[in-house]
Amino acid sequence: MSRRSTARAAVLCGIGGWVPPRVVTNEELSQRLATTDEWITTRTGIRERRFVEPGEATSDLAVAAGTRALRSAGAVAPDAVLVSTATPDRPLPATAPLVASRLGLRDAAAFDVAAACSGFVYALATAAGMISTGASRRVLVIGADVYSSIVDPEDRTNAIIFGDGAGAVVLRAGEDDEPGAVGHFVLGSDGTGEDLAIVAAGGSRQRTTDRSPTRAEQHLEMQGKKIFRHAVTRMSGSARQSLAAAGWKPEEVDHLVAHQANLRILQSVADELGIDHERCARHLVDVGNTGAASIPLALDAAAANGELRPGQRVLLTAFGAGLAWGSCVLRWPDLATTT
Ligand code: UT7
């Protein structure tokens, strides 16, 4: 039996990103919240973020990013669409089938992946598994979130961090030694940390209570300092395992693309791993923390501006509510960018 028929690798062959046009600067936030541009940039590194207009939803951003990724990947249509999001359009149905239909992908397998800010890496792993089993030959993987829909605009700690956006990649069946082959996934979770980042209302647990949810329960509540520490530990730990599995040394990594949560978190992860800060993606400066979209958006921006070049070694690592985390590696392929 040929190697191709037993263990097909998933190879990245298209990329695209989209952020809504409305820019929200630190200056604008400091006009209505007890905060300053200086506090936000010093504590997070973020200078501005994008918010959707009223009525715009996650699927709208996902379709825009998906369209660009499909254009970058060329003519062959995917047979599956995964949307990784913590802010689906509705509790039911999943957002992915609507996105697939709006992209003209009739009869494609389509489902959501719920792993908050780690969702893109989880969705990549899921898509890679679908390709290696032969269930799919080509998968559109989208990370999309509208955090402005769940962050309390009066909560100065969370309102300054998050932004809205979507990023997407296309994976095709290929060989594991090709540029673009994603692999050496390390995934993990710890549900004892459920309360550290939570939207308490809106699910089956809340419906069993006999009172209306409070304002706090309807919005994201986060214990920032604890999340910060877990994020550094879990991203650096899983990234180290992924590197070891790949046989790569930290100094051989050309780009560390970590979930864009906070510049101080990114730099701490880089320090833990022994990777220079200059090799660390810092797209959050311009768009904030975009949840599941942050890694594909950072990749798209780096590819478009020429920082990310074919053949370079890329390490992806993510952490988010759950708690959940994940890492993987790839060599960057030669892609058409559309941004
Ligand atoms: O996507 C994955 C999930 N999220 C994350 O990864 C976020 C992880 N955590 C963080 O990024 C940081 O913990 C934050 C940016 C959320 C907070 O930064 P921090 O350095 O941990 O600040 P802190 O929470 O310890 O607050 C320090 C002070 C407090 O005042 P007191 O108690 O010292 O008087 C806060 O009330 O800063 C105050 N503060 C602010 N001040 C001005 C909190 N938010 C603000 C603000 N502007 N926006």
Which domains, and CATH codes, for the chain?
A: 9-174 (3.40.47.10), 181-331 (3.40.47.10)
What average pLDDT does the segment 41-45 reach? Answer: 98
Q: Strand 48-50 relative to strand 23-25: parallel, antiparallel, unpaired?
A: antiparallel
46 lines ligand 1 (CB under 6 A): no
Q: Is the pLDDT of residue 232 over 60?
A: yes
Residue 255 bears catalytic tag = no
Render the burial of 257-294: b for 16+ CB within 10 Å, e for the rest: bbbbbbbebbbbbbebbebeeebbbbbbebbbbbbbbb
Is the beta carbon of 227 within 6 A of some atom in ligand 1? yes
Evaluate: CB of 140 within 6 angstroms of ligand 1.
Answer: no
> In this model, does residue 7 exceed pLDDT 70?
no
Which residues fall within 8 angstroms of residue 231, CB to CB, at 6 or more apart?
Answer: 259, 261, 262, 265, 269, 319
Q: Is 134 left (phi over 0), alpha (psi -120 to 50) or beta?
A: left
User: Which residue's CA lies nearest to atom 38 of ligand 1?
Assistant: 157
Active site residue 289: yes
User: Which ligand 1 atom sits closest to the C-alpha of 227?
Assistant: 8
Options 259, 280, 283, 328, the catalytic residue: 259
Residues 185-212 pLDDT 10s = 999 999 999 999 999 998 888 776 678 8
The atom of ligand 1 lying closest to the CA of 294 is: 1
Choose the catalytic residue: 13, 26, 117, 262: 117
Question: Ligand 1 centre and the CA of 39: distance in Å?
Answer: 9
H or E element, residue 298: helix 294-304
Using pLDDT thresholds of 50, 70 and 90, give the confidence band for residue 337. confident
Region 168-176: what's the mean pLDDT? 96
Q: Work out the percent of the chain whose per-residue pLDDT is above 70.
A: 96
pLDDT value for 204: 87
Determine the atom of ligand 1 nearest the C-alpha atom of 44.
15
Mean pLDDT of 62-84: 96
> What integer best gives the mean pLDDT of the chain?
95
> How much is the pTM?
0.95
